Amino acid sequence: MDTKRRRVAVYRRAHFNAAHRLHVPQWSVEENKAFFGLCNNDHYHGHNYEIEVKVEGFVNEVTGYLVDMKFIKQLIEKEIVERFDHKNLNLDTEEFKTINPTAENIVWVIWEKLRARLSEDLDLSVRLYETPRNFVEYNG
């Protein structure tokens, strides 16, 4: 069997809690409230975020691994969980000082952080659940 040609995807899930406020500084108070509703709360609001990281590529014929899952676990912990867990994304993180922390922007930032640490021959997709029914996905 030619293991070099086996394309496989591996997945890892993680969790973090964070608060945010959706707000466009150039808009009036009324425009922000009308567009973002409760998500524009002056005192912020929080989510129990779930992330699902998918790494895809060809299995190494020697190790039988696509990637060491301990590495993926540690990468997610260091780059995402430690950075965002129990933080106010607007106030406590550099990434969202100038970017509105929408789910769409959060998933992109997560993808960028992980992509920078993965081998170029691996494909990456990140799914972010803001609630069990609302989620976004980014794959570059």
Which sequence positions are flagged as catalytic?
A: 39, 86, 130
Is residue 85 within 8 Å of 26, Cβ to Cβ?
Answer: no
Q: Sheet containing 7-20: which strands, arranged edge to edge? A: 87-88, 7-20, 45-58, 123-129, 135-138
| Site of tokens 């769409």 | 104
Distance in angstroms (rounded) separating the CA atoms of residues 91 and 32: 18
Distance of CA 62 to CAs 3, 4, 41, 52, 131, Å? 9, 9, 54, 27, 40
> Please, is 77 exposed, middle or buried when counting C-beta atoms within 10 Å of its C-beta (0-12, 13-18, 19+)?
middle
